Structure 1
């Protein structure tokens, strides 16, 4: 059974990528017999290079993607060196799950409503100035992409912090700090010169994922990114939506260019990491042993800004009249909720169905692969996890779309479900990988030696210990599925609409109140499932259950001891 599940997982995650890459390559060379293009040519590449803003869009993409990733890595390290092992670190761990639960689109909508020229930030600043007109500068859709950089850096920092947990536990940071401090290094110097060179290579894969996302993001860039011109990913997406199908080779050439750009940046980062850690090592043992680094209050900023988006969206969803520079709306109304309620139910149902199916299937695949690894000592190839996280979605989904259109019949529903499973599986697998490695296999071996079958030993001994991690991984899969925009738009053929697709469409210039309604619901849905998963994991935690039973026995024994003898 485990062998079959392992093979099915590899098939689902790898086999469809072949027609995906083939479809985009054939389209890029203008070979699309369905559209009457029977002879290969480079017309698509010529059209892409001839577009006036192609080079500028590539430059903006490089600048914003690299800057956002560098800021996220810097924020993560500063928070770790300041808070790891302190009393506040446990609070940080508890806040990571709800921070990760908020979808990027909901965060982007709240960010736009807060930092727009007439947003709450400028309304508060107007209290201390004589300005009664909206400010001319803004962090939303600014030409330099500063708002996009800050939004991506803040949103990706919790992900890197979560990925750092397992890495730092394996490194035994406490022992490294003790040895470094005994040699005269203060805490910040020890983190910078001893822990950082070991932490950075171990975080290579998560940093790759952050870089790839920053370079290829479409939905967030459409809402708060620069518009004159757009980032290259948004420009390629606009080419895909061109009504003239004869121009599809230009879009395919852009998708391949985006993939090459992403791959080149990842190679450049790998070279930078090698040079800074392995070649130029003088900075690790020279210079001052006393360094002062900030970071104690940095996590508060990273956590407060995403959670500030919730009240912003809530107020805007009920605001009927809100003139600048008023801090509070002068009139409220539920008209927009009533107007969109029927449509919201339909969209939420579609999102729930897609999320529940894809997260559950991805969870089964991940558990099967991890159990297969424990039994046969053969893990899932890194390529299976790397492809969905590192390859730009536009570069592969368009090719899959072209391949699906060549098949007879309607395949948009199963193709959309498959895409959600493909992109949810790596995150679910990574969320379970640490708990599976830390579980002591001798417990199930002892149960087997007492005569239990393999399944019974697993269900009675291992399952209660890993159930909290399973519930949280399932919530992570749901959150990833809820956030998928491009897979639903491309493979759904416009026939499947979710909260995310509708929120992105409405955030591009419609009424702010309606955008806030959709952003609030999209943010609320993952938070509900994370809350359910956290509550269920606390209830099902065997350590907590045993502690409660011991406490009840102690209370009962105390009652018996104090009861008088007659």
Structure 2
């Protein structure tokens, strides 16, 4: 039975990648029979590279992706180096869930509210530092939103991905055994910073490969965030391809498909670049690991507190915007307050919230069950799909496979938009859920299961009574991650929903492009609040489970010892 479920997982979460790539590849060559195109050609690629400004768009996309990815990696290493194994690490663990809960779109909207030319940053500079932001120099200083060099998007993406990389690093550092490395390094005369650079970094960077590639793929193919704070003339290449897909002239569809194929090729090149950098630092050029005792101690604690302060400041700012009836620049606070925007939007937003929650819960629950079955299959059978195949949806641009998936759904059932959106969310949430459970499943002591089976218990009963209680916090947390991923999906909802399925993310992105900031703030608040509620639920379950186990141990140990018969020599 487990093999049947594993085959179903492959059909639902692995094979669509191949069909999606095949569909978009055929379309890029001009072979679209429903549109009367039966003769393959490379005209679509010619139209892509003939577009004015396309090379600047591609170059800007590549450098912004690489810069944001490695900036996030450096910040993550600085935080781990300064806080792992210290009392400050407990504060990071407590703060990690709220930081992870904020979706990219909500974070981007809050970032825009802070750093726009008329945002809170410019207001504070003018009020507190007597800096005139009305002049050209002040406008240039404040312009990190929609700037032509994508600097604001680089900074925003790097800061948003740091909590994810920190979370993925927890199980990695537990496997590396940092405490033992620090002891051995100290005995050889190395400081903590030197031990982290020369001993921990190579092992950590190698094991962080998949999360790093996932971050890089997201930065390359992100559309919603780029539409909010990215450059506009020209936009990033992913936004440009998305605009081509939305062109009403269907004869230009090969151009959009060719752009998606080019985006996929760029992603493969960046994956190769990342692997080359990893090989160079860990194997190719190793003299830095033993040439002297140089090692920089980054101020990781200060960096994390800055990230936490920035994230915390966004929610009050969005709340303030949602009730601001009149807020002129450069006033620090609104001159008039009103709840009328909440009253006007509540009727429409309530249905969107309900639909978003339903889709997220269904998708995350299915993805969680599939991840549990996949991990159990991995433990019991040798013949299995490698982990990097399961992680493929994380590593390739969404635009490169969504069009092919959409064509496949049209042949099966063109009216089941809700079901196809749920399936798309499962498809993209499953790798994150699977990856988040990988560390706990590997750290579980299988000796408990073998002992229980030797006592005559059935495998299902052993799993429910022994393994599930031990791994319950990790399972609930993975479920919350799946919900967060589902709530953040933008392109899959639009493409497979055909515009008929609206979620908080699709509405927030649509409203952020020139609509009233007050209404945009309301949608961004709810988009940030929903994942936070589910992460809080996961934390509560974890605490209750730990408390229950402690009480059970305290209650059972005395009876156990009393029931034992004394041994006579």
Shorter-chain TM range is: over 0.9
Q: Does 1:398 align with 2:371?
A: no
Contact in 1 for aligned 2:125/2:131 (Cα 8 Å)? no
Deviations 1:50-94 (CA, angstroms, capped at 9, x unpaired): 110110100110111111001000001111111111111121122
Q: In structure 1, what is the Cα distance between the partners aligned to 2:15 and 2:186? A: 52
* SS of structure 2 residue aligned to 1:144: coil
Contact in 2 for aligned 1:143/1:226 (Cα 8 Å)? yes
Deviations 1:304-346 (CA, angstroms, capped at 9, x unpaired): 2222211111111111100111111111111111111111111
1:427-506 mapped onto 2 (5 Å cutoff)? 427-506=432-511
Give the structure 2 partner of residue 344 of structure 1. 349
Q: In structure 1, what is the Cα distance between the partners aligned to 2:115 and 2:469? A: 46
Q: In structure 1, what is the Cα distance between the partners aligned to 2:351 and 2:44? A: 39
Q: In structure 1, what is the Cα distance between the partners aligned to 2:549 and 2:199? A: 40
Contact in 1 for aligned 2:61/2:237 (Cα 8 Å)? yes
1:171-182 mapped onto 2 (5 Å cutoff)? 171-182=176-187
Q: Does 1:23 align with 2:28?
A: no
Task: Decide whether aligned partners of structure 1 residues 124 and 406 sit closer, same or farther in structure 2, where only a CA change above 3 A counts.
Answer: same
Q: Does 1:389 align with 2:394?
A: yes
Q: In structure 2, what is the Cα distance between the partners aligned to 1:409 and 1:328? A: 50
* SS of structure 2 residue aligned to 1:136: helix
Task: Decide whether aligned partners of structure 1 residues 384 and 87 sit closer, same or farther in structure 2, where only a CA change above 3 A counts.
Answer: same
Aligned residue among 259, 265, 272 for 2:264: 259
Deviation at 1:301?
1.4
Task: Decide whether aligned partners of structure 1 residues 235 and 169 sit closer, same or farther in structure 2, where only a CA change above 3 A counts.
Answer: same
Give the structure 1 partner of residue 306 of structure 2. 301
* SS of structure 2 residue aligned to 1:27: helix
Contact in 1 for aligned 2:122/2:133 (Cα 8 Å)? no
Give the structure 2 partner of residue 317 of structure 1. 322
Deviation at 1:461?
1.4
Structure 1: gaps of 5 or more residues: 555-566
Contact in 2 for aligned 1:13/1:384 (Cα 8 Å)? no
Give the structure 2 partner of residue 57 of structure 1. 57
Give the structure 1 partner of residue 46 of structure 2. 46
Task: Decide whether aligned partners of structure 1 residues 114 and 130 sit closer, same or farther in structure 2, where only a CA change above 3 A counts.
Answer: closer
Contact in 2 for aligned 1:24/1:402 (Cα 8 Å)? no
Q: In structure 1, what is the Cα distance between the partners aligned to 2:295 and 2:19? A: 56
Give the structure 1 partner of residue 567 of structure 2. none
Q: In structure 1, what is the Cα distance between the partners aligned to 2:7 and 2:421? A: 21
Task: Decide whether aligned partners of structure 1 residues 132 and 418 sit closer, same or farther in structure 2, where only a CA change above 3 A counts.
Answer: closer
Structure 2: gaps of 5 or more residues: 558-569
Task: Report the more deviating stretch, 148-157 or 1-10.
Answer: 1-10
Contact in 2 for aligned 1:359/1:421 (Cα 8 Å)? yes
Q: In structure 1, what is the Cα distance between the partners aligned to 2:555 and 2:123? A: 55
Question: What is the TM-score with the length of structure 1 in the denominator?
Answer: 0.94
* SS of structure 2 residue aligned to 1:16: helix
Give the structure 2 partner of residue 74 of structure 1. 74
Q: In structure 1, what is the Cα distance between the partners aligned to 2:278 and 2:552? A: 50
Deviations 1:360-381 (CA, angstroms, capped at 9, x unpaired): 0001101111122223355542
Task: Report the more deviating stretch, 112-121 or 130-139.
Answer: 130-139
Q: Does 1:231 align with 2:243?
A: no
* SS of structure 2 residue aligned to 1:221: helix
Deviations 1:214-258 (CA, angstroms, capped at 9, x unpaired): 111111011000111100001101111111111111100100001
Q: In structure 1, what is the Cα distance between the partners aligned to 2:289 and 2:512? A: 47
Give the structure 1 partner of residue 562 of structure 2. none
Q: In structure 2, what is the Cα distance between the partners aligned to 1:379 and 1:403? A: 26
Q: In structure 2, what is the Cα distance between the partners aligned to 1:349 and 1:375? A: 39
Task: Decide whether aligned partners of structure 1 residues 497 and 178 sit closer, same or farther in structure 2, where only a CA change above 3 A counts.
Answer: same
* SS of structure 2 residue aligned to 1:117: coil
1:328-343 mapped onto 2 (5 Å cutoff)? 328-343=333-348
1:161-310 mapped onto 2 (5 Å cutoff)? 161-289=166-294, 291-310=296-315
Aligned residue among 543, 546, 550 for 1:547: 550
Q: In structure 2, what is the Cα distance between the partners aligned to 1:274 and 1:479? A: 33
Deviation at 1:120?
0.8
Give the structure 2 partner of residue 33 of structure 1. 33
* SS of structure 1 residue aligned to 2:525: helix
Deviation at 1:392?
0.2
Contact in 1 for aligned 2:17/2:393 (Cα 8 Å)? no
Q: In structure 1, what is the Cα distance between the partners aligned to 2:100 and 2:354? A: 22
Contact in 1 for aligned 2:68/2:155 (Cα 8 Å)? yes
Deviation at 1:26?
1.2
Contact in 2 for aligned 1:157/1:302 (Cα 8 Å)? no
Contact in 2 for aligned 1:109/1:223 (Cα 8 Å)? yes
Task: Decide whether aligned partners of structure 1 residues 409 and 175 sit closer, same or farther in structure 2, where only a CA change above 3 A counts.
Answer: closer
Give the structure 2 partner of residue 109 of structure 1. 109
Contact in 2 for aligned 1:147/1:224 (Cα 8 Å)? yes
Give the structure 2 partner of residue 524 of structure 1. 529
Q: In structure 2, what is the Cα distance between the partners aligned to 1:539 and 1:378? A: 38
Contact in 1 for aligned 2:490/2:506 (Cα 8 Å)? yes
